[in-house]
Amino acid sequence: MSHELLVTPLHALHVEMGAKMVPFAGYDMPVQYALGVRKEHLHCRDAAGLFDVSHMGQLRLHGANAAKAIEALVPVDIIDLPSGKQRYAFFTNEEGGISDDLMVTNFGDHLFVVVNAACKDQDIAHIHANLPEDVTMEVIDDRALLALQGPKAAEVLARLNPAVSDMVFMDAMKLELCGVECYVSRSGYTGEDGYEISVPADTADAFARELLAYAEVEWIGLGARDSLRLECGLCLYGHDLDPTTTPVEASLLWGISKCRRADGERAGGFPGADLILEQIKTKDVARKRVGLLGHSKAPVREGSKLFDVNDNEVGIVTSGTFGPSKGMPVAMAYVQTGLAVIGTELFAEVRGKKLPMTVEKMPFVPQRYYRG
């Protein structure tokens, strides 16, 4: 039984622009445009790329205890998240695994939450099941979500409203763009400076055309979105993170707030806390997420098995592609903890051949977030 694919408010524009459309998380989404994946990737690194991410879930939580309710589901400080700030978080399960990652913004009178498209329904159900009576959740289905990313993103968006220039990385504000109220955060998924913009669905087409009218801006599809995020060491849920992987195994310790750790003022209190806090304390995990650089031109794809110098199978690639900015194959993988050391040589099995790769520090290219 086939289910009809959902479409975003910008679907007709993608088709008009000649996008190659593919099924993704239940939606018909653009994987690339006429430029092609490599040129789109490089354009985003050099100028400004526009991404349609309207397939992701947008939620509002209302009520004085909204932050407390979300904090009970994540190992992250939400209660003390300042108004006008955004924070990366992840839902954990009772086994310490990650059931999705998300962005949480404090807009003062409510929390604004963005969740992954593939996990949207389960996340909404999970939050709803854990809300106290005095907190209400509103699923936003009348707004599109766009990302404008790259070194010229700020210059372009400031032409529509100069206030965006004063924002720094992870700032968020409501402001007017092209005559409509938008929710804007200075963040993104490319490692570049840029913005994510929630815009009313009925004005999304006109807003996108306004941005595309600038010479600096090109549409960027899912293909380049993947190579951009991978070069910058950013995880993709369902690939590099899943319900069987703990934050410690995933090298996401930076995402666990100090106040939620064993010696913090609000220690634990999230699903799987005992296991995760024990792993932080003992560092005793069997595998770790690492970055890998290839030495040939051949990309090493997700699912490729990894071997050590003695030909023992020691891990598996979870994301892999050729990095257009890096100029060589880049990958993320889980390997035995003893091999998760910068400089370790491993071999990826690709079509019966063992291709050499080296464990490298991530990000593979510098992150260029604007911190003021």
Burial of 303 (C-beta count, 10 Å sphere; 0-12/13-18/19+): exposed
Angstrom CA distances, 223 to 102, 217, 229, stand at: 21, 17, 10
Give the DSSP per-residue string, 90-138: EEE-TTS-EEEEEEEEE-SSSEEEEE-GGGHHHHHHHHHHT--TT-EEE
Residue positions forming the annotated binding site for substrate:
196
Q: How far apart are CA 129 and CA 367, in angstroms?
A: 37
Instruction: Classify the C-alpha dihedral 124-128-129-132 as positive or negative.
Output: positive
Angstrom CA distances, 360 to 148, 223, 231, 355, stand at: 29, 23, 12, 16
- Identify residue 234 by its one-letter amino acid code: L
Residue positions forming the annotated binding site:
196
The strand pair at 305-307 and 345-350 is best described as: antiparallel
The strand pair at 57-62 and 136-140 is best described as: antiparallel
**Residue pair 101/241 in contact by the 8 Å Cβ criterion:** yes
Strand-pairing partners, residue 13, are none
> Closest Cα to residue 171, out of 259, 255, 82?
82
> Closest Cα to residue 347, out of 326, 325, 322, 329?
329
Question: For residue 186, how far is the Cα from the chain centroid?
Answer: 14
